[in-house]
Every structure is written in C-alpha cells, then in structure tokens.
Amino acid sequence: MSQTISSPKVEQVVSVDVSQAKALLQSGNQYLDVRTPEEFRRGHCQAPKIFNIPYMLNTPQGRVKNQDFLEQVSSLLNPADDILVGCQSGARSLHATTELVAAGYKNARNVGGGYLAWVDHSFPINKEEPSTN
C-alpha cells in the first residue's frame, strides 16, 4: 500500500532569483537572512532593511530548528510586509518561507540560490567580522 504525502503549502511559496531579489530590495522589500549569526557576520547581502533570524541553530549535536523562529520574526516583521527570505544556498530559506506563508506571511518570497548566488553575481555585500590581515 503506497501513501502519497502532499504538501499544499509548498505550492504557495514563490521563489525569486537574486537579480529579482536585488531589484525588490531596492523597491522597499525587507530581507530576512535565516542563516546562523556566524554565517551572517561572515557576509550578507547589502539591503536597506535586513534582519538575521536563524532558522537553524548550531548546537553540539549539530543543527537544530530554531523553535522560536516564528515568534522572533513576528517581533520584527508584520504578515503584510514584503519579505525576501534568504540563506546560504536556498534550502533553509525555502523551508523558512514555507513556514512563514503557512503562518500568514503571504508576501514572503524565497531567494533562490541564496547568498552564494548573490556573491556569484558580484552584488554588494556587508561583512561584520574584521579581516585577519
């Protein structure tokens, strides 16, 4: 007996590429970087309104889901906000965007390719860790 598991929420998630994301950021969209704080400090896209709320947390046992993710997002962003959700490569942000859309953030969009694609396009970045020179 086979069982089909459907996930209707995933169909609601819209992904944009980094070129679209860059234009949307310039037109007022907010950027939610869901990478770990360590990854964020090493470099993140340059955006007027950027927030870092990790979807996964590093623990001695490996990465675990941030159980307070939605609560932390709701303390900074409103469900009606235009939000671009990005991570390192697009996988964590897809999960995070799916969760946000399911929670009522209808204007949340996933940034396909994430930070790596942003860097590949030579788009502006910010780094918060001092260089070791």
Give me 17's structure tokens: 């590429």
Q: 131 or 33: which carries more pLDDT confidence?
A: 33
- What is the model's pLDDT at position 45? 95
Q: For residue 72, how many other CB atoms are within 10 A of its CB? A: 14
Least confident of 7-21, 49-63, 113-127: 7-21
Which residues have a catalytic role annotated? 87
> What percentage of the chain has pLDDT greater than the value 90?
84
Q: What's the longest Cα–Cα distance across the chain?
A: 62
Question: In angstroms, rounded to a whole number, what is the distance separating the alpha carbons of residues 42 and 90?
Answer: 17
99 CB-side CA count, 13 A: 19
- What is the model's pLDDT at position 12? 81
pLDDT higher than 50, residue 5:
no
Q: How confident is the model at residue 7 (pLDDT cuts 50, 70, 90)?
A: very low
- What is the model's pLDDT at position 121? 96
Give me the helix-helix angle, 91-102 and 69-76, nearest 10°: 70
Give the N- to C-terminal CA distance of the chain in Å, as an integer: 62
pLDDT tens string 27-82: 999 999 999 999 999 999 999 999 999 999 999 989 999 999 999 999 999 999 99
pLDDT higher than 90, residue 2:
no
35: DSSP letter: S
- What is the model's pLDDT at position 60? 92
Which one-letter amino acid corresponds to residue 107?
N
Give the helix/strand (H/E) hosting 42: helix 37-42
- Domains (ranges, CATH) in the chain? 9-124 (3.40.250.10)
**109-133: b (≥16 Cβ within 10 Å) or e:** bbbbbbbebbeeeebeeeeeeeeee
Question: In angstroms, rounded to a whole number, what is the distance separating the alpha carbons of residues 116 and 73?
Answer: 23
Give me 80's structure tokens: 């009606």
